[in-house]
Amino acid sequence: MGAQKLTKKGLAILILIGIIFIAVIIIQSVFFTYGAINFFIRLFGLWGYLCLAIAAIMSPFLKEINRIFGRPFIKMHHIFAFSGLCLITLHPVFYAIYSKTASVFIPGFSSWYEFWLFAGRPALIILYIALIVILFRRKIKPWRIIHALMYLMLLFGFIHAILIGTDFAAKAIIVIFSVMFAGVIASFTVKRLQLYKNSIKKKSN
């Protein structure tokens, strides 16, 4: 039993070390950015997306995480989600300060390409809709469906980063975030399958 606990603890530590390692790579990518505001614009965007993606990837496996690592590790899901929310919000805030315009919060609809180029803007709106739904989930019946908008937000954010993200010229960054996005797609698929199986069980009972 002691060895099993040690193995679980070791696995948890390895996962956290891996996340820290990715965070350090991101810092290296933006470290030589000219100007402090530019540095924080890019860092908050990348770190924010990373945290939200990790929270989304964890979502279908919360029961397993609780069984393997215990309740405290489930809190990591909420920590990553909250950290991602704060960081991804600061990303356009700092860009608005840098560009001296609030237009960075308004989605572009003049063309299909412009919409996806600035897809981070509707992504932020979707993020806050999902947050409000979570906070008032007891009053909103289909809150799980609306909460699934988080995956759409991550899709918008990823496309925005691919099209306009300065750091995505670096191979390490594009590999890391492509793998993270693939993990998000996989978690979305697993979550839908879980809900489908649960609905079948309820009908059969």
pLDDT given at position 145: 67
Distance CA 41, CA 128 (A): 19
Q: What angle do CA 178, 184, 185 make, to 5 degrees?
A: 90
User: Considering the chain, what is the average pLDDT of its residues?
Assistant: 84
Determine the length of the chain.
205
Residue 80 class from Cβ within 10 Å (0-12 exposed, 13-18 middle, 19+ buried)? Answer: buried
Overall domain count for the chain: 1
Q: Model confidence over 61-81: pLDDT tens digits?
A: 877 777 766 666 678 888 898
Domain of 48, CATH number, reads 1.20.120
Q: What is the CA radius of gyration of the chain?
A: 18
For the ranges 53-57, 70-74, 133-137, the maximum mean pLDDT occurs at 53-57
pLDDT (average), residues 125-150: 75
Q: Which domain holds residue 196?
A: 2-204
